[in-house]
Amino acid sequence: MNFKNIKDNIEYPSKGVLSKVISKTEKNNLTLFCMAAGTDIGDHTSTKEGFVYVIEGKGTFVLHGEEIEMLPGVIIFMKENAPHSLKAEENTSFLLSLS
């Protein structure tokens, strides 16, 4: 299949995070994350560069100590090894692309 309606794949767990790999190639991974309200992902890094695209919800993304409001349509670019964390204030979904 050459296309997907990403919103058809959104489902929120009662707590925590649900992730679904949407596409995986040698050079790029695209994953849908669905975070229940009140869930956080502590400080971590990735060896790949990428971006986060917020689909729905509300939360806070912290990149290199800078707080970025996660709202629908926001895109956040990250270089490899960039320290980041996030917290969902509401049920929040986003795409993470790493390459």
Instruction: Give me the phi and psi of 79, to 5 degrees please.
Output: -85, 165
Contact 49, 99 (CB under 8 A): yes
For residue 8, tell me if it sits in a domain: no
What is the domain count for the chain?
Answer: 1
| Residue among 30, 38, 19 at smallest CA distance from 96 | 30
Q: Give the CATH number of the domain where residue 23 resides.
A: 2.60.120.10
Contact 20, 29 (CB under 8 A): no
Instruction: Going from the first residue of the chain to its last (99 residues), give the mean pLDDT of each consecutive group of 10, the final group possibly shorter.
Output: 84 97 94 98 96 98 97 98 97 97
Please check whether residue 78 lies inside any domain of the structure: yes
CB-based contacts of 15: which residues, under 8 Å, 6+ apart?
Answer: 36, 38, 39
Residue 91 lies in domain: 19-98
What is this structure's pTM? Answer: 0.94
Residue 1 placed within a domain = no
75 in any annotated domain: yes
Q: 61 near 52, Cβ under 8 Å? A: yes
Query: What is the pLDDT at residue 68?
Result: 98
Indicate whether 10 belongs to any domain: no
25 exposure class (CB count in 10 Å sphere: 0-12, 13-18, 19+): exposed
